[in-house]
Amino acid sequence: MRQLCCRRIMWKALLVSMLLAIVIAPAVLAKAIEEPLQTYRGVVLSIEAAEENPLEESGYQSEAFDVEVKILNGPFRDQEISVYHITGGNPSYDIIVEPGDKVLLEAEVVEGELVSAYIADHIRDTFIYLLIGLFVLLVLLIGGKSGLRSLLGLLITVILIAQVFLPLLFRGYQPLLLAVLLSVLSIIITMIIIGGMNRKTLAAIIGTASGVLVAGVLAYAFGNLTKLTGLSHEETQMLMYIPQETQFNYQGLLFAGIMIGALGAVMDVGMSVASSMFEIKKVSPQISLWDLFRSGMNVGRDIMGTMTNTLILAYLGSSTPLLLLFYAYNVPIQRILNLDTIGTELVRAFSGSIGMVAAIPLTALVAAWLAMRDEQGRVGAASEAEHS
């Protein structure tokens, strides 16, 4: 009993230390960045065609408007201003507004006076918050306490990424090493919150961490073999021109993204396999180690059948516009497979999938061994109690 209490105290101390690190890290890593513009929320009152349009003779189907906007927040709340708004005939960049639309304004404020402003985008966060609220509500209603623990684990992972991972990347730290540390830390905290501090959780942690590391190693190996640059996406290319002039390891960013992308699916598999195996052991305490391992593998195979499809289809779904372009121009398959963009997505998808598949036997093996040891420990503790 003393050993069990000591172990629980150690687990709790470890978890509390990790949570404190997450809370304290942002304050340590925070870097003040001066905002050249102030952002406000507004509602469009009226729209009129402007007298002048600087793009009128450029050949583009552009239009210019004088838009009356009422500011909804900040020191200029309820103030009505006129905003010059122009569209260039490109639906990718144009912001089409109508009276009643709520918009984001980027305003230049000098010595407390609003000098100028422009419409930066539509306000979308209201409905995004509504969708997130619906997700949280359903998880809590259906999952109860388990759902609450899942949400807490998700929240901590998001905080780790936003307040620790990204600031350290921005300072030029090695992306792959940070991804490994973040993944392991996230796995430990999330698994403890969801499963508690026990052998089942330990098995899930070991199996999940092993699977994620397998995905990272494969991404690194095949990313180098296929000479992926990490610059296949427009967002990554834009990092080359940020004003802070941070020198990023773009290939490392790619590998780190692959590891983090695989994290959720591998955690799902690890906990599912470990949980099912300990339940089997609980119902059939006389089961042998080999039979328990085989049962875990059978459960893992059923999970693998759907989860591999989930990962691959998720990547294919995000690449649908690109696939349509290939289809429209009849690009040959040999050319497609040798593109940096496609190579990146294929390495991402299959590295993550292999990491998830590898987590199944690793988790099953560790869970079987720990479950048998757990049973032996209980028998030993019972015999000691009888003799005493």
Task: Give per-residue pLDDT as tens, 160-177.
Answer: 999 999 999 988 888 988
pLDDT bucket at 317, cuts 50 / 70 / 90: confident
Lateral strand order in the sheet of 38-49:
80-87, 63-71, 38-49, 102-110, 113-122
Q: Where in the chain is the domain with CATH 1.20.1640?
A: 2-16+145-387
List, in order, residues 6 or more apart from 149 with CB less than 8 Å away: 193, 194
pLDDT bucket at 382, cuts 50 / 70 / 90: very low
* pLDDT at 55 (0 to 100): 64
Is the domain 2-16+145-387 a CATH 1.20.120 member? no
Model pTM above 0.85: no
Give the Cα separation of 253 and 180 in Å (integer). 12
**Residue 89: pLDDT above 90?**
no
Look at 66-80, 194-208, 299-313 and tell me which has the smallest mean pLDDT: 299-313
**Residue 88: pLDDT above 70?**
yes
The full DSSP string for 101-156 is: -EEEEEEEEETTEEEEEEEEEE--HHHHHHHHHHHHHHHHHHHHHHHHHHHHHHHH
Q: Considering only CA atoms, which of 220, 147, 238 is closest in space to residue 177?
A: 220
- For residue 223, give the amino acid letter: G
* pLDDT at 8 (0 to 100): 52
pLDDT bucket at 358, cuts 50 / 70 / 90: very high
Look up residue 123 and give its two tokens. Answer: 């306000």
Q: Where in the chain is the domain with CATH 2.40.50?
A: 38-123
Look up residue 96 and give its two tokens. Answer: 């089409």
Look up residue 174 and give its two tokens. Answer: 């090695």
Mean pLDDT in residue range 107-123: 88
Cβ atoms 157, 174 nearer than 8 A: no
Look at 57-61, 118-122, 130-134 and tell me which has the smallest mean pLDDT: 57-61
List, in order, residues 6 or more apart from 353 with CB less than 8 Å away: 262, 308, 311, 312
Strand partners, 143: none
Q: Report percent pLDDT > 70 for the chain.
A: 85
* pLDDT at 62 (0 to 100): 79
**Residue 155: pLDDT above 60?**
yes
Angle at 294 between CA 210 and CA 303, to 5 degrees: 60
Look at 16-25, 185-194, 250-259 and tell me which has the smallest mean pLDDT: 16-25
- The residue with greater pLDDT, 123 or 62, is 123
Mean pLDDT in residue range 311-329: 82
pLDDT bucket at 258, cuts 50 / 70 / 90: confident
**Residue 108: pLDDT above 50?**
yes
pLDDT bucket at 247, cuts 50 / 70 / 90: confident
Looking at the domain covering 38-123, what would its CATH class be?
mainly beta
**Residue 5: pLDDT above 70?**
no
* pLDDT at 56 (0 to 100): 63
* pLDDT at 366 (0 to 100): 94
Indicate the average pLDDT of the chain: 83
* pLDDT at 35 (0 to 100): 52
Q: Considering only CA atoms, which of 74, 71, 65 is closest in space to residue 46?
A: 65
**Residue 36: pLDDT above 50?**
yes
* pLDDT at 141 (0 to 100): 95
pLDDT bucket at 140, cuts 50 / 70 / 90: very high
Look up residue 223 and give its two tokens. Answer: 């990313």
